[in-house]
Structure 1
Amino acid sequence: MAFYSYKDAIRALNTLQTSSNILKRSRKTINNESLSQTIEWLYRIRYKISDIEKLNVIHIAGTKGKGSTCAFVSSILGEIRSRHGKPLKTGLYTSPHLISVRERIRINGIPISEELFAKYFFEIWNCLEETAISKGLDPKIKPSYFVYLTLMSWHVFISEKVDTLIMETGIGGEYDSTNIIQHPTVTGITSLGIDHISVLGDTIERISWNKAGIFKEGVPALTVQQPIEALNVLKKRAFERKSPFFVISVNSDLKKIKLGLSGDFQYINASLAFSLVSHHLFCLNILDENVSPKISDSVKAGLEKASWPGRCQLYKENNISWYLDGAHTLESIKEASIWYANSVFLSNHSSKKSILIFNQQTRDAIMLLDCLYNQMVHKKMSRNPFDIVIFSTNLTWKDGTYSQDLINLNYSIEESKSLKLQYNLKNHWIKLDNNASINIAKSIEDSVDIVRYHASFSDINVFVTGSLHLIGGILTVLNVPVS
């Protein structure tokens, strides 16, 4: 039997990525066929939908806060397991990853090992080829990158005997490949906003309709406070699907807890996570003090210990404080900026030199940059919030390549290397603040070198934001271990 390594798996996985040109054309064709194709692929790896539903799925969609909410749910369930022995194993499926693809598939909060990843990856790969040959199909044709990982995650969780699965949608909900699940224990919608408009639509109503596609008949549908237009759509969808509908406000008792994730907005995600866990345990007939309006010791400990890299994350390297947040929507950029400002400008760290590293390849980068600048100016009470500004590409290394796990064919490498976007951002920032020293970085490694150079003269605060891909690259260059 051939031996396959983790690197072999990642090389094979990257062949399933869609190029930027094809992606632009295919985004408009995501529909019900996407789900029927996922079901067909599932049959091809010899599973049925009922096999997945035995995992007891908590299904979560939303625009922002999905990852943090999943992290809170996973952490709470981990504390309940340590005290009460149930659930036995909790699976967690999220996207995207920051450093390693393994981060997407976790058991009891820990990414699966490289050995397990390779093992299960090639079991799916070989099974797809075998069933293709038996059906007279082309064995070279495989699912897309995200669908493949979704199928693989189900294989992992079933094989490892997981009895609770927290599953985050990829994009949207209605046509997302995770949405073949028909009987989750509970569904949740985090805060909604404008994002992925080429796939989900360009209005909050259309986006809300798509996200609410995860609602199922008879299954509790939970959400947080939303813009009224979004809330009306969610209510209507829940009524149509015959889903009991609940709007979760911030739990006042949670405000007394110091959450493991920074940022005041995390209390919204924590409140939703607590309610999701309560409904889930009720569905599983695990009836103890954890299913109540009160915050048990298990819940408190889970919320305090929760961690989720790349969201309001502080990483210290000698005299450099790296403030990292992968915010990439107007709402999340605003919240991340407030978090950085409160951490730095309103503390005794305000005397340090302040550096911004920013990139956003696909959305309205200028609009995001304006939002960031305005929040900084408001908090610092100065028109010059940063001493140094670095506009970087998402390419990991100086030689113009990506880390193997971070290869992303959704974006044109040629376009990145042209630096056109970075120069546009530079010219715009000059209009906002012509006192800052502005740098164009060809790679994330170059950006880190610029920061370290300045750190040889003084202590530094660095705010990195605009893209989860940028955050992942920074963590990779800094050699931060996979969480």
Structure 2
Amino acid sequence: MTQSAAEREIDRLLTLHPKGFDLSLERIRRLLSRLGDPQKRLPPVIHIAGTNGKGSAAAFSRAILEAAGLSVHVHTSPHLVNWHERYRIGQKGGGKLVADDVLADAVGRVAEANAGESITVFEILTAVTFVLFSEHPADVCVIEVGLGGRFDATNVIERPAVSLIMPVSMDHEAYLGDRVELIAAEKAGIIKPGVPVVIGQQESTTALDVILDVAERLDAPAMVYAQDYFGFGENGRMVYQDDSGLMDLPPPRLVGRHQFANAAAAIAAVRTAGFTVSESAVADAMGRVEWPGRMQRLVSGALVDLAPGGSEVWLDGGHNPGAGAVIAEYLAEQEERFPRPVFMIAGMISTKDQFGYFQAFEGLVRHVFTVPVGMSDAGVPANELALRAEAAGLSAEPMASVSNALSLLRETWDPTEPAPRILIGGSLYLAGEVLRENGTPPV
């Protein structure tokens, strides 16, 4: 496959600088200073941290703001198929992924300014975010944290319009700590003195207490889910409520009960940031919101064609026990309403809690096919991953690829049974591979 100009620039950087994370703000501050501090010339920023739900909150925020007629820059990470997905350039009528020549030029200028000094590629790509978003006019920026918060490269934003902290749970323990209160403290590092913070639904009261302690210490007004604002399903609708009143909305297009809380957090963040959005705009946003690779129904494509006829094929990049729990909850609800045999095709990387992820699906999934994750050097071999799934109480066997697993299902399927419900998941790297191979990359 022919590489684009931006991909060639980034690949060159990957040979020169570390791919991983080295949590510090010194290097990116030095680089941004050389670039004229573009992070100080941004439109108002909604800054989002959390373990799960960051991407959904960014997608809801963008949809709400665009439905209100605003232009919205959006930075998310990681990407699924192409680097360009990390940079959505705002424009009236809906933002577009950055053009390849524009991205290649920005990457080249940032790399030149760095002049070969020690830095991580993620820090360079974050500096690219600030360059792009400062050079293209827009009404608002939605910026997702890459890892943690306190020392994440995006945390050079000195005064966002609002900080948004989504659900916090165990993940990235090697970088953030092995207790939920340590992880919560890192996420709460995006809170700035006097800047309001919206706190999404937290399963852990310990995490919530840590975040609130930081907010109080910094005199940052806090708006807490289930205390200051609410979002829930009722009679096939979504109800949102805060001190300003109640909204009766369509259910979010993103599936799963947890998306009601994610949508509510985004509504609260947009309002707290000072943007006036009508109920009709929010309603419109609930029906148009998109977030690829997160409980995404694949309805066509090269891989879908390999599955047994009539199958439901779902793709989700969630990769920790918290994500496993919300995916399993949605599948269990579907199983009650529309019973089908449930199968899983899973690939994971070694830094994730594989046992904890699989445990959520015990008693729900009939069989797991484990596959390699080709896009990551840290992919767990399929035979080892099958053993982890079995230890969590699941029936499992290794396969060479997603396409092999789907083909085997098709060849061995009993036509007297309902067509299966198939979840492909366990890794954002795997989600990217699947979207590429299926021919349905994000746009």
- TM-score category, normalised to shorter length: 0.7 to 0.9
Aligned counterpart in structure 1 of residue 372 of structure 2, from 390, 393, 400: 393
The structure where helix makes up a greater share of residues is 1
Deviations 1:344-363 (A, max 9, x none): x2244x34x53211122222
Which of 441, 445, 453 aligns to 2:399? It is 441
Query: Deviation string for 1:185-228 (max 9, x for gaps)?
Result: 11111111111111111111111111111111111011024222
Q: How does 1:27-176 map to 2 (within 5 A)?
A: 30=23, 34-51=24-41, 54-81=42-69, 87=70, 89-108=71-90, 109-128=95-114, 132=115, 139=116, 141=117, 143-176=119-152
Which SS does the other structure have where 2:315 is aligned?
A: strand
How many Å separate the matches in 2 of 1:393 and 1:189? Answer: 32
Contact 1:394 1:444 in 2 (8 A): no
TM normalised by structure 1 equals 0.78
CA distance in 2, matches of 1:60, 1:171: 11
1:218 aligns to 2:183 (yes or no): no
Do the aligned partners of residues 243 and 16 (structure 1) sit closer, same or farther apart at CA in structure 2, a change above 3 Å counting?
farther
Check if 1:279 corresponds to 2:272.
yes
Whether the 8 Å contact between 1:445 and 1:474 is mirrored in structure 2 is no
Match in the other structure for 1:340: 331
8 Å Cα contact 2:370-2:383 kept in structure 1: no
SS in 1 for 2:342: strand
Q: Please name the residue that 2:322 is paired with.
A: 331
Instruction: State the alpha-carbon separation in 1 of the partners of residues 286 and 17 from structure 2.
Output: 35
Deviates more, 1:145-154 or 1:439-448: 439-448
Matched-pair contact (CA < 8 Å) for 1:58–1:165: yes
Structure number with higher relative contact order (C-alpha < 8 Å, ≥ 6 residues apart): 1
Question: Residues 154-303 of structure 1: matches in 2 within 5 Å?
Answer: 154-226=130-202, 227-249=204-226, 250-251=230-231, 253-254=239-240, 256-282=249-275, 288=276, 290=277, 296-303=279-286
Residue 476 (structure 1) aligned with residue 436 (structure 2):
yes
- Answer yes or no: is the 8 Å Cα contact 1:323–1:340 preserved in 2: no
Could you tell me whether the CA contact under 8 Å between 1:310 and 1:326 is conserved in 2? yes
Shift in alpha-carbon separation, 1:445–1:18, aligned structure 2, 3 A: farther
AA at the equivalent of 1:370: Q
Partner of 2:5: 5
Tell me the CA shift for residue 453 of structure 1: 4.4
Tell me, in whole angstroms, the C-alpha distance in 2 between the residues paired with 1:447 and 1:147.
37
Q: Secondary structure at the match of 1:37?
A: helix
Question: CA, structure 1 residues 124+107, in 2 after alignment: closer, same or farther (shift >3 Å)?
Answer: same
The whole-number CA distance in structure 2 between the counterparts of 1:324 and 1:276 is 28
3-state SS of 2:274 partner: helix
Alignment partner of 1:78: what SS? Answer: helix
What secondary structure is seen at the aligned counterpart in 1 of 2:143? strand
Q: Show structure 2 runs of 5+ residues with no match.
A: 233-238, 241-247
* Cross-structure match for 1:424: 387
CA drift of 1:336 comes to: 0.3
Distance (Å, rounded) in 2 between the aligned partners of 1:169 and 1:461: 33
Cα distance, 1:157 vs structure 2: 1.1
Q: 2:293 corresponds to which residue?
A: 310
1:143, distance to aligned residue in structure 2 (A): 2.8
| Cα pair 1:182 1:216 within 8 Å, conserved | yes
Distance, in Å, in 2 between the alignment partners of 1:237 and 1:481 is 39
Partner in structure 1 of residue 243 of structure 2: none
What SS does the corresponding residue of 1:372 show, helix, strand or coil?
coil
RMSD: 2.6
Aligned residues, how many?
Answer: 409
Change in Cα spacing, 1:13 to 1:346, as seen in structure 2 (3 Å) is farther
Counterpart in the other structure of 2:235: none
Answer whether contact 1:391 1:425 (CA < 8 A) is retained. no
CA–CA distance in structure 2, aligned partners of residues 325 and 421 of structure 1: 21
Letter in 2 for 1:476: R
SS in 1 for 2:171: coil
Q: Distance in 2 between matches of 1:5 and 1:346?
A: 49
Match of 1:191, SS state, is coil
Deviation at 1:242, TM superposition (A): 1.4
Whole-Å Cα distance in 2 between the matches of residues 105 and 456 of structure 1? 45
State the identity as a percent: 26
What amino acid is aligned across from residue 384 of structure 2 in structure 1? L
C-alpha contact (below 8 Å) 2:75/2:144 kept by paired residues: yes
Distance in 2 (alpha carbons) for counterparts of 1:163 and 1:93: 14
Q: Give the distance between the partners of 1:302 and 1:363, measured in 2 at CA.
A: 33
Relative to the length of structure 2, the TM-score reads 0.85
CA contact (8 A) 2:313 2:421 kept: yes
Q: Which amino acid aligns with 1:428?
A: A
Q: Which has the higher mean CA deviation after the structures are superposed, 296-305 or 441-450?
A: 441-450
Q: Which residue is 1:398 aligned to?
A: none
1:222-243 residue CA offsets vs partner (Å, 9 max, x unmatched): 1024222112111110111111
SS at match of 1:346: helix
Q: Is the 8 A contact 2:38 2:134 kept in 1?
A: no
* C-alpha distance after superposition, 1:442-482 (max 9, x if no partner): 34444454455457968442111221112111111111132
